């Protein structure tokens, strides 16, 4: 699911599940969490990207469909929480190299990263509500980046936006041609690596102060539990599999 390699001062974490558009199952989220922790120990920067022309299609929808008990929901939400909110508290900056579609949890990963560079054909969407779920990190944090009305457009309609609009809204820093994606990310890495580790870490972590209060994890668990016990939400998830 996850390829890990080191390029100079950066650890590159590549989502590698092309048959599922790099969608993350539970093991994938756990691999990503472990990979980010490893990168924080070994490198100055972590870079997150995907194989082929897809960044990440989000959660494997089977994860949501199979989360039926309270224990299932707790395991799922804790894993999502640990990765998405964990990026904010990681000791090193995380850069998203968005090489294509970023939907659902993939879009949330982009939002959680400290910096993001996208190719022109990249698209971004939060379609969770249309399939009887919801985007937990986005509703807690993304309004601070794009504004509430724009977040609501993404979260309530599920409609995608293109890379230029994502840049206009502040979801990504730059849009560059496909052949310049790695080089532009490398420029960010090189610039970050010239600064002292301590000042970089403090700048990043102080920007995230208040990111997650003690009740956030419990609130997300409760929301997922309510969704998974609601007949209309479960029916919407089932319809997704029948397409």
The per-residue pLDDT for range 191-219, each reduced to its tens digit, is 999 999 999 999 988 887 555 566 888 88
Q: Which of 31, 88, 108, 140 is catalytic?
A: 108
Tell me what the mean pLDDT of segment 94-105 comes to.
Answer: 97
56 lies in a domain?
Answer: yes
Q: How remote is the C-alpha of 14 from its chain's centroid?
A: 13
**pLDDT at res. 179:** 97
243 lies in a domain?
Answer: no
The mean pLDDT value of the chain amounts to 92
**pLDDT at res. 12:** 98
203 lies in a domain?
Answer: no
d(CA 131, CA 239): 8
CATH code assigned at 60: 3.90.226.10
**pLDDT at res. 212:** 57
pLDDT at residue 241 tops 80: no
Per-residue b/e over 127-155, b at no fewer than 16 CB within 10 Å?
bbbebbbbbbbbbbbbeeebeeebbebbb
**pLDDT at res. 210:** 52
pLDDT at residue 87 tops 70: yes
Higher-confidence residue of 164 and 214: namely: 164
- Confirm if 141 and 150 have CB atoms less than 8 A apart: no
What is the percent of the chain with per-residue pLDDT over 70, rounded to a whole number? 98
Tell me what the mean pLDDT of segment 112-137 comes to.
Answer: 95
Total tally of structural domains belonging to the chain:
1
Higher-confidence residue of 104 and 66: namely: 104
| Domain of residue 152, residue span | 2-193
The per-residue pLDDT for range 38-47, each reduced to its tens digit, is 999 999 999 9
Residue 242 among the catalytic residues: no
229 lies in a domain?
Answer: no
Tell me what the mean pLDDT of segment 46-53 comes to.
Answer: 97
Calculate the alpha carbon distances from 209 to 37, 44, 121, 175, 220 in Å. 20, 21, 33, 28, 19
173 lies in a domain?
Answer: yes
204 lies in a domain?
Answer: no
pLDDT at residue 164 tops 60: yes
105 lies in a domain?
Answer: yes
Residue 65 among the catalytic residues: no
**pLDDT at res. 186:** 98
The span from the first CA to the last CA of the chain, in angstroms, equals 25
d(CA 58, CA 121): 17
Q: Which of 65, 128, 218, 226 is catalytic?
A: 128
DSSP per residue, 105-142: HHHHHHHHSSEEEE-TT-EEE--GGGGT---HHHHHHT
pLDDT at residue 65 tops 90: no
- Confirm if 96 and 185 have CB atoms less than 8 A apart: no
d(CA 205, CA 221): 25
225 lies in a domain?
Answer: no
């Amino acid at each position: 699911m996850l390829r890990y390699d080191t390029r100079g001062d950066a650890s590159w974490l590549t989502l590698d599940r092309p048959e599922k558009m790099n969608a993350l199952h539970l093991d994938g989220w756990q691999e990503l969490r472990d990979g980010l922790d490893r990168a924080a120990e070994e490198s100055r920067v972590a870079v997150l990207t995907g194989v082929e022309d897809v960044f990440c299609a989000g959660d494997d929808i089977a994860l949501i469909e199979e989360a039926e008990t309270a224990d299932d929901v707790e395991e799922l939400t804790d894993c999502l929480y640990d990765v998405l909110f964990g990026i904010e508290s990681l000791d090193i900056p995380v850069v998203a190299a968005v090489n294509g579609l970023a939907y659902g949890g993939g879009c949330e990963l982009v939002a959680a990263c400290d910096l993001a560079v996208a190719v022109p054909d990249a698209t971004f969407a939060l379609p969770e509500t249309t399939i009887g779920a919801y985007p937990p990190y986005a509703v807690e944090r993304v309004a601070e980046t794009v504004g509430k009305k724009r977040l609501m457009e993404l979260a309530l309609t599920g409609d995608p936006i293109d890379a230029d609009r994502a840049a206009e809204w502040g979801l990504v820093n730059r849009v560059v041609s496909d052949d310049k994606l790695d080089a532009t990310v490398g420029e960010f890495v090189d610039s970050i690596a010239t600064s002292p580790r301590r000042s970089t870490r403090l700048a990043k972590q102080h920007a995230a102060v208040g990111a997650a209060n003690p009740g956030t994890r419990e609130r997300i668990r409760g929301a997922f539990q309510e969704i998974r016990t609601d007949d209309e939400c479960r029916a919407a998830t089932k319809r997704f599999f029948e397409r």
